[in-house]
């Protein structure tokens, strides 16, 4: 089954790849690895903002992280010239969580992206990962995630 067919089963349509917000490129292809710049939590209503441990729960953060994963796949598709089925595997995700100093559930938040990758991509979605706290993130978003993909 194609990746987009699987996404459709999950009720997900990939948006157009978000444009960068500053002087950088959204992705870089080096050999067979596609490095995708950090994607921030956003949905059709705009940025998903907040601080975990203050005005957001870990579950809220996981939902925000899922939106980052969808944007990462949109960038992957763009980086593969529109053929997302060139994906060999997700190599690594690095997640940043806008959180209070005493919030310690960053891994639970980034699970929203990790779980989505495995749900959508099966074994190709299993990856190495980091989940770290940030005192703030661009535009006040709750989550930002970057990725490394291996492609054919």
Calculate what percentage of the chain has a pLDDT beyond 90.
97
The candidate with the shortest Cα–Cα distance to 101, out of 51, 151, 147, 145, is: 51
Residue 109 has pLDDT above 90, yes or no: yes
Do residues 34 and 27 lie in contact, with contact meaning Cβ atoms separated by under 8 Å?
yes
pLDDT recorded at residue 27: 98
Question: Hey, where are the domains in the chain?
Answer: 3-11+25-151
Measured CA to CA, the distance from residue 73 to residue 27 in angstroms comes to 11
Mean pLDDT across 138-146? 98
pLDDT tier at 18 (50, 70, 90 boundaries)?
confident
Averaged pLDDT score across all residues of the chain: 97
Residue 21 has pLDDT above 90, yes or no: no
CATH 3.90.230.10, domain 3-11+25-151, yes or no: no
């Amino acid at each position: 089954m194609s990746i987009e067919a699987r996404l459709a089963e999950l009720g997900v349509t990939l948006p157009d790849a978000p444009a960068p917000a500053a002087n950088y490129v959204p992705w870089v292809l080096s050999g067979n690895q596609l490095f995708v710049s950090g994607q921030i939590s956003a949905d059709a209503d705009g940025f998903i903002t907040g601080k975990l441990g203050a005005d957001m729960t870990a579950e809220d953060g996981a939902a925000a992280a899922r939106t980052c994963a969808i944007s990462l796949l949109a960038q992957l598709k763009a980086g593969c010239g529109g053929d997302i089925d060139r994906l060999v595997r997700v190599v690594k995700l690095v997640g940043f969580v806008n959180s209070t100093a005493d919030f310690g559930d960053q891994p639970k938040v980034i699970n929203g992206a990790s779980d989505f990758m495995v749900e959508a991509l099966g074994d190709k979605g299993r990856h190495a990962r980091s989940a770290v706290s940030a005192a703030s993130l661009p535009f006040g978003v709750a989550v930002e995630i970057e990725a490394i993909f291996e492609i054919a």
